[in-house]
Amino acid sequence: MKLSSDLNEFLLPYSDYNYSKNESGVYNEDTTTQFIYDQFKDYAIGHGCSAKWDGVKKKVETEYLPECETPDIDPIPRDKNKSAVTNQDGVFILPMFLENSQAQEFKWLSDFSDVTDNNVIEGLLTFVDSYGQWIENKKGNIKYQSEFKEIAHQELEKCEQDYQRMKENVETLLKGENNKDNLASFRLMNSAMFMQLWHSVKVKQNEVILMLENKDFNSFDFNFYKEADDKLFSQSESAGWRAFQLAFILLNLDGIFKPENDENWERRNEWVDLVWFPTGGGKTEAYLGLIALTIINRRKLHKEEGGGVASIMRYTLRLLTMQQFQRASLLIMALELIRRWNQYGLGNEPITIGLWVGDNSLPNKTEDLITEFEKLNNKQHNKIPFSNCPWCGGNIEGEDKEDSENLNNRKNQWYSKRVHLKCSNDKCSFSYPKRRARVRQNDQGAIPVCLSDEIIYQHPPTLLFGTVDKFAQLAHKVNGNENGRNKDSRRLFGNGNWEQSKPQNGYLPPDLIIQDELHLLLGPLGSAVALFESAVDQLCTREDGTRPKIISSTATTRNTQLQIAALFDRKVNLFPKPGVECDDSFFAFYRRSFKNPEKENDEYLSKRKYIGVLPTGRTQIWMQMRLAAIIMTHRAIFELQELQDKSPIDFDVYSNFEKAMDYYHTTISYFNSLKEVGKTQSQIQTYILKELRRVFNRVIRPQKLMHSLYTYGPIQESELTGRLSGEEVKNELKSVETKWNSINRFANIENDETVRGSVPPEFVVATNMISVGIDVSRFNTIIMNSMPRNTAEYIQASSRVARNDYGLVLIVHHPFRARDMSHYEKFIEFHEKMYSYVEPISITPFTKKSVERYMGLYLATMIRHTTRFTDRESARNISTISNEELSSIISELTEYFSDRKIRLSNFDKLINNLLKEENVTQIKQWIKEAFEEWKELEENLDDSTDLVFNRKKNGTNQARKQEQLYVDIEEYEGNIHSKKWQVPMSLRVIEPEAAIKINSI
């Protein structure tokens, strides 16, 4: 159906919004979100179909395969008010807001440049002021002077606050004689950022190994980096910060350096700075910068006590951690190398990174780590998160035994009870396991990683890198014995029983916590984490009351205050502010090109196209199979054309073809549940192949070579879902990352042997596991089977494609699901304003149900970390403890929640309701009863039985019987003494599975 008219603008938008204030006299979030998308008007909604309209408002029509392209985000601030200029490709684009971006360059800002401190300050202030100027320009815009003045000014005022904060931070924390140390730390942080990036890029290009072979190469010392080229990505541009990354760091200086006028250090203790940026924007670099600055400042300021864990970086999904861990490792290696240069006062303790993950991704015990190292040395499959030296690309080797130096010897203490991982290239800075002064240069040592839980507890790493679920271990791994130090998680917070060689009072607790992907902490996991986070927050609080700085990132900007208050008990500052137009927040800009300098025919540039499909009269599975078959046939047509044009076959000459084949060879099929994965998986080799043959024969005339390649099968499949183990994930990821290679396409001869042709997986079934952090440039086609549960997930999953080049997202809508239909019927509107459709997240950690389920974990952690009940066997001591002491323990534990309630009363009603008076009463009652149940359990035991917290042992040759307090999640109902002490080993296993007990057959 089509409606058109010759009149000008005969169509009116159906959704013209009326922006009005709420009862408190401000424009609320829903209204301002609508406002920034005001430029997109919508003219139709389909019914049982979709709709589209043309730009000149003369035509609307129904559409069955609606499509929409989402604009690319340009991280460079550009000036909308100026005329367009031509870029190197001869295209008209908008000029950059800041002509000179020197102050964003790593090397220019670093210690390796000859730029004076004054110049650095000037550069930073100019950078910050350009944001101020942008705000002024927007305020001056005629549109925001009249009709929309109030709402625009309300939003721009928020930008203004960030601007003022950055400016003040530079002026009061970096500038001037008093702040010389701070500025030195800031510049050193940039040095580390430059070094890690240099190695990351050069190792990928295989240049570093060659450099080491050169006779003139001496070592990776200060002068090496001073000379090193910083044009890492293009000949004309020095590598540096994106504007939002540098701005975010400047914004957070007040959480790392204590401002003089902020006596209670409110900026650190009371605020979470939350970064929101479209996927692929580079949040990781911003985190890494803040981590480096925290580590440098802590070591310099607190000397020995500033050792131990300085920063915790936490992810919600395990897959992410491997890729991100490698990037963070490079930064830690840079900092460790700088420390070894011995000029900056970073102390004697190595700067290290520890990978603390669940799901058996890594061994818990050091002896098992040695087994993994042996596999690594023998080139077998292993769990080690690196395959090569991150610093030079050379081979790596693991030592086969634990270092046995005396831990109390000051000189060797850092090396003892570790197994070292080292680079096998003698010239590399990370090639020596430990001190062997004769052969080793001063700045050489092992790769500073801690890869088993035991090593992590024994030598708490400077950066603790882990998954949320692993933190449940805190309730289990506590040990006060001298020889149990490698089982004592209190050490991660600076507490515990320290060796003579370490500071007697231990270390300061961690200074910085980074929680990535906040929006994934929802539902039961969110509630579990929220309660548990209360324990982490208290354990990270210094004696003087200083709390850790918390940084987080999110994919949704809706209702974030509620989530932050529930999770972290703090206020939130979102960055960057969206401003007044969705296509220009200064820090993020919709990429666009023009036909001429006067900017006519404004057009957004896009790499990602979404196409909606609604199966009618056919099942969704059938539709999915057919789509896969069509995609594969298109691949065949493309390949056929290329081969015909360029015969005889000479692959070397057409690299563009190879890239195209590589980029569009693999199709991801995304599912919302594992059940659907199973259904499809069983049909890949039958139905998809059958469909492929059918479509192929219909559109391609019999062509023997293509026929044999495409329709004989089997289809190369792969899987990226939550049911794989950590090691399987690593292997699958490796196989999907393999490049399509024309040489291997056909059978070929290698070392005088004929090798069968091979291609990377072409059909990958996946679930939401791929939604975070996977960055594979080869992924450029995805079939989404129904809309995911929420819009954030849809954005994240579909953003896996078109990372580097054009990508296609096909959504097979479900005809019987209202949500799917609604998205299909307003397909264009939904995709134009996708981010505004992201649903707010709600978590309710303090409700009765949540408390009953997750409070046990919180309570167990607090008791074992902060009271005398440290050892596993000390559970029996509940009987010897005086009533007085017990009630003081209980009141301290419950006080926390009363205090928290008072803090929440500063917020509006909705947030205030997170923890109601009745919830506090319930929590108090619950804690009291938990202690009573514990006492009762103990009293009922006879003298020959011990009471332990966890891991009870009742072997045949056991002298004494053991009973345990914690309830294992899979324990039979009948064996449970106390429902209160359910303390899972992982936050992921929070829902017990149904247990069937068969009494007799």
Residue nearer to Zn ion on the CB measure, 333 or 736: 333
The number of angstroms, rounded, from the C-alpha of 756 to the middle of its chain's C-alpha atoms is 39
CA distance 517 to 502: 35
Q: CB of residue 393 vs Zn ion: minimum separation in angstroms?
A: 7
Complete DSSP assignment for 670-733 = E-SSHHHHHHHHTTIIIIIHHHHHHHHHHHS---HHHHHHHTS----EEEESTTS-HHHHHHHH
What is the number of other CB atoms lying within 10 angstroms of the CB of residue 296? Answer: 28
Burial letters 326-350, b for 16+ CB under 10 A, else e: ebbbbbbbbbbbbbbeeebebbebb
CA distance 866 to 495: 9
Neighbouring-strand partners of residue 167:
none
Residue nearer to Zn ion on the CB measure, 36 or 335: 335
Q: Which stretch binds Zn ion (CB under 5 A): 315-323, 400-408, 417-425, 688-696?
A: 417-425
What is the number of other CB atoms lying within 10 angstroms of the CB of residue 705? Answer: 13
Which of 192, 239, 309, 428 binds Zn ion (CB under 5 A)? It is: 428
Q: Which stretch binds Zn ion (CB under 5 A): 426-434, 436-444, 694-702, 810-818?
A: 426-434
Tokens standing for residue 14: 């159906």
Please, are residues 905 and 912 in contact by the beta-carbon 8 Å criterion? yes
Helices 283-302, 243-251: axis angle to 10 degrees equals 30
> Interaction with Zn ion in 48-67: which residues (CB under 5 A)?
none
Residue nearer to Zn ion on the CB measure, 389 or 706: 389
CA distance 105 to 230: 9
CA distance 131 to 159: 9
Q: CB of residue 285 vs Zn ion: minimum separation in angstroms?
A: 23
Residue nearer to Zn ion on the CB measure, 219 or 804: 219
Q: CB of residue 422 vs Zn ion: minimum separation in angstroms?
A: 8
Q: CB of residue 757 vs Zn ion: minimum separation in angstroms?
A: 35
Count of residues near Zn ion by CB under 5 A:
6
Residue nearer to Zn ion on the CB measure, 210 or 649: 210
Question: Does residue 984 belong to the site contacting Zn ion (CB under 5 A)?
Answer: no
Residue nearer to Zn ion on the CB measure, 396 or 539: 396
Q: CB of residue 391 vs Zn ion: minimum separation in angstroms?
A: 4
Residue nearer to Zn ion on the CB measure, 266 or 426: 426
Q: CB of residue 419 vs Zn ion: minimum separation in angstroms?
A: 18
Number of residues assigned to the chain: 1001
Question: Does residue 423 belong to the site contacting Zn ion (CB under 5 A)?
Answer: yes
Tokens standing for residue 81: 């008010």
> Interaction with Zn ion in 119-138: which residues (CB under 5 A)?
none
Q: CB of residue 412 vs Zn ion: minimum separation in angstroms?
A: 23
CA distance 703 to 827: 39
- Secondary structure, 3-state, 602-649: CEECEEEEEEEECCCCCCHHHHHHHHHHHHHHHHHHHHHHHHHHCCCC
Complete DSSP assignment for 338-349 = HHHHTSS---SS
Residue nearer to Zn ion on the CB measure, 333 or 915: 333
CA distance 104 to 204: 24
> Interaction with Zn ion in 347-406: which residues (CB under 5 A)?
389, 391-392, 394
Q: CB of residue 329 vs Zn ion: minimum separation in angstroms?
A: 12
Residue nearer to Zn ion on the CB measure, 424 or 877: 424
Residue nearer to Zn ion on the CB measure, 181 or 426: 426
Q: Which stretch binds Zn ion (CB under 5 A): 128-136, 422-430, 481-489, 850-858?
A: 422-430
Q: Which stretch binds Zn ion (CB under 5 A): 427-435, 490-498, 690-698, 753-761?
A: 427-435
Q: CB of residue 932 vs Zn ion: minimum separation in angstroms?
A: 58
Q: Which stretch binds Zn ion (CB under 5 A): 256-264, 362-370, 428-436, 720-728?
A: 428-436
CA distance 632 to 641: 14
Q: CB of residue 436 vs Zn ion: minimum separation in angstroms?
A: 17
Please, are residues 607 and 72 in contact by the beta-carbon 8 Å criterion? yes
Residue nearer to Zn ion on the CB measure, 376 or 525: 376
Residue nearer to Zn ion on the CB measure, 427 or 831: 427
Residue nearer to Zn ion on the CB measure, 17 or 341: 341
Residue nearer to Zn ion on the CB measure, 390 or 461: 390
Closest Cα to residue 400, out of 370, 378, 422, 380? 370
Residue nearer to Zn ion on the CB measure, 428 or 834: 428
Please, are residues 187 and 174 in contact by the beta-carbon 8 Å criterion? no
Strand order across the 667-670 sheet: 67-71, 606-613, 807-812, 781-785, 667-670, 763-766, 717-720
Q: CB of residue 313 vs Zn ion: minimum separation in angstroms?
A: 24
Strand order across the 463-467 sheet: 449-450, 353-356, 463-467, 311-315, 512-515, 549-554, 271-276, 571-575
Q: Which stretch binds Zn ion (CB under 5 A): 425-433, 672-680, 768-776, 971-979?
A: 425-433
Q: CA–CA distance from 795 to each of 170, 279, 807, 825 (Å)?
A: 35, 9, 14, 18
Q: Which stretch binds Zn ion (CB under 5 A): 182-190, 423-431, 566-574, 864-872?
A: 423-431
Q: CB of residue 399 vs Zn ion: minimum separation in angstroms?
A: 15
Q: CB of residue 375 vs Zn ion: minimum separation in angstroms?
A: 20
Residue nearer to Zn ion on the CB measure, 277 or 432: 432
Closest Cα to residue 297, out of 281, 278, 311? 311
Cis peptide before 576 (omega within 30 of 0): yes
Q: CB of residue 198 vs Zn ion: minimum separation in angstroms?
A: 14
Q: CB of residue 392 vs Zn ion: minimum separation in angstroms?
A: 3
Residue nearer to Zn ion on the CB measure, 296 or 423: 423
Tokens standing for residue 224: 């090496």
Q: Which stretch binds Zn ion (CB under 5 A): 397-405, 416-424, 484-492, 975-983?
A: 416-424
Helices (H), 342-450: 366-377
Residue nearer to Zn ion on the CB measure, 211 or 709: 211
Q: Which stretch binds Zn ion (CB under 5 A): 138-146, 415-423, 536-544, 904-912?
A: 415-423
Residue that has been written with the tokens 């990352």 in this structure: 737
Q: Which stretch binds Zn ion (CB under 5 A): 117-125, 418-426, 770-778, 900-908?
A: 418-426
Q: CB of residue 219 vs Zn ion: minimum separation in angstroms?
A: 12
Q: CB of residue 97 vs Zn ion: minimum separation in angstroms?
A: 40
Burial class (CB in 10 A: 0-12, 13-18, 19+), 186: buried
- Secondary structure, 3-state, 187-199: HHHHHHHHHHHHH
Residue 524, helix vs strand vs coil:
helix
Tokens standing for residue 53: 């309209």
CA distance 639 to 636: 5
Q: CB of residue 370 vs Zn ion: minimum separation in angstroms?
A: 21
Which spans of this chain sit near Zn ion (rule: CB under 5 A)?
389, 391-392, 394, 423, 428
